[in-house]
């Protein structure tokens, strides 16, 4: 609760000085790039927002949406139209085009994988509607079409986890990765951040297996079990989030491992992940709780629409490594 209060106060302060902070974050586009919608401050206006997501049923998204609705209710001039793509990119494209038809004032969007949406993003730009991408960073091909990205730093999460495993294992041993859905922007970035850091460290850690857990506990459990059957002397795991990590912990228990025998580093901050950390299963967890994103997303939306401020092209939230020294500040938020 204390953390939420502090975050709210910080957001309020940031919004009061947005005219200064956002001006410093303006980024020039290259020649030939499509012209993004220009911010125009309109006092006393009501705003219609379209928010589409790959699926609002993903546990992280469920908490994010609940908190977003709670916070945006404080600003009655906003109407949010929610769209759930149900993991179907054609449905997602149709939903975004419907927002265009409704002439919304801004579109917020999390695709999980932005590549199938590029042509639809072009239509949004052509319609003059500002597009803010959220959650995980999009593929670079989406950069020219987004007004701003506000969300997590997936590459940095991977970097922090790689450094943690490298240090704890002394730079040697066999490790495995349980990733986001294979080929998605999220998977590519979480994994690239991890592998790039191992390269920078000249680490001797050997990745013996790399399998998608698809943000699903049961899938991650089966994947982890299969990996440990093939590599019973596995030294460590990197998991893209501790929700899937719950499946890994279940598999470790089934195989007879004790907490700490296999080193685990993950991103997340779920209630289950925090409990597993307290029980000794994790070396550390990079905090990526939804609360970090909600306040920033609403702050940016209001600064653009109400104040006419130019948003930074990229704005990642601060991601702390949850460890034994600070665990009391992280109760788990989803």
Q: What is the pLDDT of residues 245-266, one digit of tens each?
A: 999 999 999 999 999 999 999 9
Residue 326 located in a structural domain: no
Does 267 lie in the same domain as 178?
Answer: yes
Q: What is the mean pLDDT of the chain?
A: 89
Looking up tokens 């079990």 gives 225
Euclidean distance between the first and the last CA atom of the chain, given in angstroms as a whole number: 14
Q: Is the pTM of this model over 0.85?
A: no
What pLDDT, on a 0 to 100 scale, did the predictor assign at position 39?
A: 60
Does 293 lie in the same domain as 280?
Answer: no
| CATH number of the domain bearing residue 167 | 3.40.50.2300
Residue 328 located in a structural domain: no
Does 104 lie in the same domain as 18?
Answer: yes
| 126-159 exposure pattern, b = at least 16 Cβ within 10 A, e = fewer | ebebbbbbbbbbbbeebbbbbbbbbbbbbbbbbb
d(CA 248, CA 218): 9
Does 297 lie in the same domain as 255?
Answer: no
Domain range for residue 119? 2-151+289-319
Q: What is the pLDDT of residues 196-255, one digit of tens each?
A: 999 999 999 999 999 999 989 999 999 999 999 999 999 999 999 999 999 999 999 999
- The total of structural domains in the chain comes to 2
- The confidence band for 183, taking pLDDT boundaries of 50, 70 and 90, is confident
Does 298 lie in the same domain as 160?
Answer: no
Residue 111 located in a structural domain: yes
Helix (H, G, I), strand (E, B) or coil at 51: strand
Residue 331 located in a structural domain: no
Does 170 lie in the same domain as 184?
Answer: yes
Q: Domain end: 271, 287, 303, which one?
A: 287
Dihedral angle over CA of 233, 239, 244, 245, nearest 10: 60
Q: Are 92 and 111 in contact (CB under 8 A)?
A: yes
For 157, the enclosing helix (H) or strand (E) is helix 154-168
Give me the count of residues in the chain: 334
Residue 64 located in a structural domain: yes
Fill in the DSSP letter of residue 117: G
Does 199 lie in the same domain as 71?
Answer: no
**Helical pair 89-101 and 118-126, crossing angle rounded to 10 deg:** 0
Does 175 lie in the same domain as 137?
Answer: no
Does 304 lie in the same domain as 271?
Answer: no
Residue 214 located in a structural domain: yes
Does 125 lie in the same domain as 72?
Answer: yes
Q: Which two tokens stand for residue 99?
A: 């927002």
What pLDDT, on a 0 to 100 scale, did the predictor assign at position 21?
A: 39
Q: What is the pLDDT of residues 276-288, one digit of tens each?
A: 999 999 999 999 9
Question: Does residue 1 register a pLDDT over 50?
Answer: no
What pLDDT, on a 0 to 100 scale, did the predictor assign at position 28?
A: 40
Residue 205 located in a structural domain: yes
Inter-CA distances, 322 with 211, 318, 329, Å: 25, 12, 9
Does 278 lie in the same domain as 298?
Answer: no
What pLDDT, on a 0 to 100 scale, did the predictor assign at position 19?
A: 36
What pLDDT, on a 0 to 100 scale, did the predictor assign at position 320?
A: 95
Residue 244 located in a structural domain: yes
Does 264 lie in the same domain as 252?
Answer: yes
What pLDDT, on a 0 to 100 scale, did the predictor assign at position 34?
A: 55
Q: What is the pLDDT of residues 109-120, one digit of tens each?
A: 999 889 999 999
């Amino acid at each position: 609760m204390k953390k939420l209060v502090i975050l709210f106060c910080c957001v309020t302060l940031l919004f009061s000085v947005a005219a200064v902070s956002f001006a410093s974050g303006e980024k020039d586009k290259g020649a030939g790039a499509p012209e993004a919608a220009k911010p125009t401050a309109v006092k006393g206006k009501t705003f219609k927002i379209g928010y589409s997501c790959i699926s609002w049923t993903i546990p992280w998204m469920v908490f994010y949406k609940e908190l977003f609705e709670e916070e945006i209710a404080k600003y009655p001039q906003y109407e949010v139209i929610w769209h759930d793509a149900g993991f179907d990119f054609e449905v997602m494209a149709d939903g975004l085009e419907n927002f265009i038809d409704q002439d919304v004032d801004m579109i917020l969007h999390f695709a999980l994988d932005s590549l199938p949406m590029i042509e639809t993003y072009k239509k949004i730009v052509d319609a003059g509607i500002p597009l803010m991408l959220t959650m995980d960073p999009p593929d670079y091909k989406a950069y020219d079409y987004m007004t701003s990205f506000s969300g997590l730093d997936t590459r940095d999460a991977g970097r922090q986890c790689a450094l943690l495993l490298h240090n704890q294992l002394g730079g040697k041993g066999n490790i495995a990765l349980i990733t986001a859905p294979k080929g998605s922007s999220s998977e590519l970035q979480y994994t690239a951040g991890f592998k790039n850091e191992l390269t920078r460290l000249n680490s001797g850690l050997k990745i013996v297996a790399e399998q998608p857990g698809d943000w699903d506990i049961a899938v991650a459990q089966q994947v982890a079990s299969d990996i440990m059957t093939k590599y019973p002397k596995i030294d460590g795991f990197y998991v893209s989030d501790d929700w899937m990590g719950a499946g890994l912990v279940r598999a470790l228990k089934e195989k007879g491992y004790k907490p700490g025998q296999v080193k685990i580093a993950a991103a997340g901050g779920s209630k289950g992940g925090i409990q597993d950390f307290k029980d000794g299963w994790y070396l550390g967890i990079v905090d990526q709780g939804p609360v970090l994103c909600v306040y920033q997303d609403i702050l940016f939306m209001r600064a653009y629409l109400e104040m006419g401020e130019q948003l930074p092209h990229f704005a990642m939230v601060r991601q702390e490594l949850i460890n034994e020294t600070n665990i009391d500040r992280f109760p788990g938020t989803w």
